[in-house]
């Protein structure tokens, strides 16, 4: 599953980077990237996954649990991080995405675990410094991390096994 996950991350990461460069349409670009990544994954998951063998029950279970944890935590965000300004929500969502990447390491290998730690560090640092750093900077860094690690997972899948 590592190559399919890498493709998804490359597309999402590209959309995040481009959105950070054009903040007036950031959310439209992000949604377009999410739709494009999902479509690409649906069309290529089997051919990308097949050469490395079918996913195990543990891998599929980790993917399902990671997504469920992400959904639950995003639902809890208003309680965990009361919205103080326009940057709290996107940064706290980035933090949750990082947490779900840690769980996904069971399905996609250690590179996505590293991405999770880097994502948590990026979002956590931005939440901590508050106003001194515009959240679009962290958004750009997040996209760049996803693009780089996703590209590694896609092009060099055995590195992450």
C-alpha–C-alpha distance, residues 105 and 149, integer Å: 13
24-37, pLDDT tens digit by residue? Answer: 999 999 999 999 99
Listed in sequence order, the residues at least 6 apart from 18 whose beta carbon sits closer than 8 Å to its beta carbon are 29, 33, 143
Phi-psi category of 14—alpha, beta or left, where left has phi over 0 and alpha has psi -120 to 50? alpha
What pLDDT, on the 0 to 100 scale, is given for residue 160? Answer: 54
11-23, pLDDT tens digit by residue? Answer: 999 999 999 999 9
3-state helix, strand, coil in the chain (%, to 5): 90, 0, 10
Percent of the chain, pLDDT > 90? 69
74-120, pLDDT tens digit by residue? Answer: 999 888 877 777 888 899 999 999 999 999 999 999 999 999 999 99
What pLDDT, on the 0 to 100 scale, is given for residue 161? Answer: 54
Tokens of 79: 């309680």
Gyration radius of the chain's alpha carbons: 15
Three state DSSP letters for 5-57? HHHHHHHHHHHHHHHHHCHHHHHHHHHHHHHHHHHHHHHHHHHHHHHHCCCCH
Q: What is the pTM of this model?
A: 0.90
The residue ranges of every structural domain in the chain are 2-160
Number of H helices, E strands in the chain: 6, 0
Burial of 12 (0-12, 13-18, 19+ CB in 10 A): buried
């Amino acid at each position: 599953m590592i190559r399919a996950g890498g493709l998804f991350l490359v597309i999402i990461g590209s959309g995040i980077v481009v959105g950070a460069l054009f903040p007036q349409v950031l959310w439209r670009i992000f949604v377009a990237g999410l739709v494009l990544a999902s479509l690409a994954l649906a069309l290529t998951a089997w051919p990308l996954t097949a050469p490395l063998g079918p996913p195990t029950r543990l891998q599929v279970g980790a993917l399902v649990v990671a997504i469920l944890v992400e959904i639950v935590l995003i639902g809890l965000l208003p309680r965990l991080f009361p919205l103080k300004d326009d940057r709290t929500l996107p940064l706290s969502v980035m933090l949750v995405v990082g947490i779900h990447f840690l769980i996904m390491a069971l399905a996609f290998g250690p590179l996505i675990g590293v991405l999770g730690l880097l994502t948590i560090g990026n979002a956590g640092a931005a939440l901590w410094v508050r106003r001194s750093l515009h959240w679009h900077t962290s958004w750009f860094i997040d996209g760049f991390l996803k693009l780089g690690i996703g590209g590694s997972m896609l092009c060099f899948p055995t590195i992450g096994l």
